[in-house]
């Protein structure tokens, strides 16, 4: 049925909407000319902590809202070196450790009004390759959470007057800021297994290119030799995944170890599943299992993994302190090693007699 009566009035666009539809977006210079202030005053009004009076700031912001002006923050970053934006380079978004680290780091940075610009590397890529891309963004400082990085890449970046903070790794012979877990804590694993009366041990590591895996293996193997234990098996060369831990455990069992130490908890949890499916082998009755990182899953009731604690909150705190030192031009210690402690749970036990 046709509706009879007064036709409804169509909603009319506001004056601000009409202006926006009729012309391109306002620039800072356009706004300054329209309201009778300098372009630098407009810029300062939209920036925290700048020298502009509250009255002037309120006036500029009110007029900007009235005229439909929005500052182009990205364009501002690209036009100059911006100390309020920091590049964050990482890889392996499946890693619980790196995800936790990135989460905590980004929250802390934003609390300090520092804006993280995230770059995700492909598996096996060199983080140094990303530094060339970061130059296009006029970024002064970059934090590398994970991924390989070469001496030459860092040297070129530093020679350009820029700063690098390495997390989870270090370049010992370069004056580069770094904070990382003390991977020599792997020696505590050997001590623990020795005290339990276990003598035949094996190691399961990650990619051959991983400095983290290499450091953990070296510390463990060195202490095993000092204690007169036997390293009866060693597997590695693949990524830090559950599947890799599962398959490499099945391979290392041929050496009949009494205990297996894994470079990460993810590998160790894959190993626990492999042992559960092996038939006839119990943990820790037949084989003790130890990981490294103390991820949340390690403490789950159905897992209860003995592991080495990777103090992510402390590492992030140290990284933020390094970042503030760099931004404020303060002197201070630029290389930090965060201690790792053994957390004993249900996957290790005395040797069978």
pLDDT for position 1? 41
* Domain assignment of residue 288, yes or no: yes
* Domain assignment of residue 6, yes or no: no
Hey, what are 246's tokens?
A: 């599962």
* Domain assignment of residue 76, yes or no: no
Residues 157 and 198 in one domain: no
Final residue before a domain boundary, out of 34, 65, 96: 65
Residues 321 and 172 in one domain: yes
Provide the domain count of the chain. Answer: 3
pLDDT for position 124? 61
pLDDT for position 123? 63
**H or E element: which one contains 146?**
none
The CA distance from 94 to 16, in Å, is 46
Q: Which residues of the chain have pLDDT under 50?
A: 1-10, 15-16, 19-22
Hey, what are 98's tokens?
A: 């790196």
CATH (domain of 43): 1.10.260
**Full residue range of the structural domain in which residue 286 is found:** 183-311
pLDDT for position 309? 98
* Domain assignment of residue 12, yes or no: no
| Surface-to-core class of residue 35, CB atoms within 10 Å of its CB (0-12 exposed, 13-18 middle, 19+ buried) | middle
- Bridge-based pairing of strands 306-309 and 342-343 is antiparallel
Give the residue among 310, 311, 309, 321 at the shortest CA–CA distance from 108.
321
Residues 130 and 245 in one domain: no
Residues 257 and 333 in one domain: no
Report, in angstroms and rounded to the nearest whole number, the Rg of the chain calculated over CA atoms. 28
pLDDT for position 220? 98
The CA distance from 218 to 349, in Å, is 24
Residues 215 and 296 in one domain: yes
* Domain assignment of residue 38, yes or no: yes
pLDDT for position 224? 98
3-state secondary structure of 152: helix
Residues 96 and 116 in one domain: yes
The CA distance from 254 to 233, in Å, is 8
Give the residue among 228, 234, 108 at the shortest CA–CA distance from 167.
108
* Domain assignment of residue 11, yes or no: no
* Domain assignment of residue 42, yes or no: yes
Hey, what are 259's tokens?
A: 């205990």
* Domain assignment of residue 283, yes or no: yes
The CA distance from 196 to 258, in Å, is 11
Task: Quote the distance between the C-alpha of residue 55 and its chain's center.
Answer: 41
pLDDT for position 6? 41
pLDDT for position 74? 61
């Amino acid at each position: 049925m046709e509706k009879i009566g007064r036709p409804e009035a169509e909603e009319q666009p506001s004056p601000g909407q009409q202006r926006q539809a009729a012309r391109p977006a306002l620039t800072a210079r356009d706004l300054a000319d329209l309201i009778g202030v300098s372009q630098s005053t407009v810029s300062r009004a939209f920036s925290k902590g700048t020298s502009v009076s509250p009255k002037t700031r309120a006036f500029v912001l009110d007029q900007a809202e009235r005229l439909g002006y929005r500052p182009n923050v990205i364009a501002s970053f690209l036009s100059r070196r911006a100390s309020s934006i920091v590049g964050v380079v990482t890889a392996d978004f499946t890693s619980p450790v790196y995800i936790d680290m990135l989460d905590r780091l980004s929250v802390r940075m934003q609390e300090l009004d520092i804006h993280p610009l995230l770059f995700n590397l492909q598996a096996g890529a060199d983080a140094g390759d990303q530094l060339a891309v970061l130059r296009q963004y006029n970024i002064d400082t970059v934090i590398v959470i994970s991924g390989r990085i070469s001496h030459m890449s860092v040297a070129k970046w530093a020679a350009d007057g820029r700063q690098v903070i390495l997390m989870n790794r270090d370049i010992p012979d370069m004056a580069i800021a770094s904070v990382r877990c003390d991977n020599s804590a792997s020696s505590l694993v050997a001590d623990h297994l020795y005290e339990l009366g276990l003598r035949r041990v094996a190691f399961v590591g990650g990619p051959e290119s991983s400095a983290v895996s290499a450091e953990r293996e070296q510390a463990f193997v060195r202490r095993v030799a000092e204690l007169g234990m036997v390293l009866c098996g060693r597997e590695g060369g693949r990524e830090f995944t559950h599947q890799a831990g599962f398959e490499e455990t099945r391979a290392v069992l041929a050496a009949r170890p009494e205990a297996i130490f894994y470079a990460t908890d993810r590998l160790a949890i894959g190993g626990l599943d492999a042992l559960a499916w092996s038939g006839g082998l119990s943990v820790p009755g037949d084989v003790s299992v130890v990981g490294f990182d103390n991820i949340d899953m390690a403490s789950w009731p159905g897992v209860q993994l003995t592991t080495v604690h990777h103090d992510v909150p402390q590492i992030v705190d140290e990284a933020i302190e390094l970042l503030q030192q760099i931004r404020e031009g303060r002197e201070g210690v630029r290389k930090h090693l965060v201690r790792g402690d053994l957390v004993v749970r249900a996957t290790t036990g005395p040797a069978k007699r």
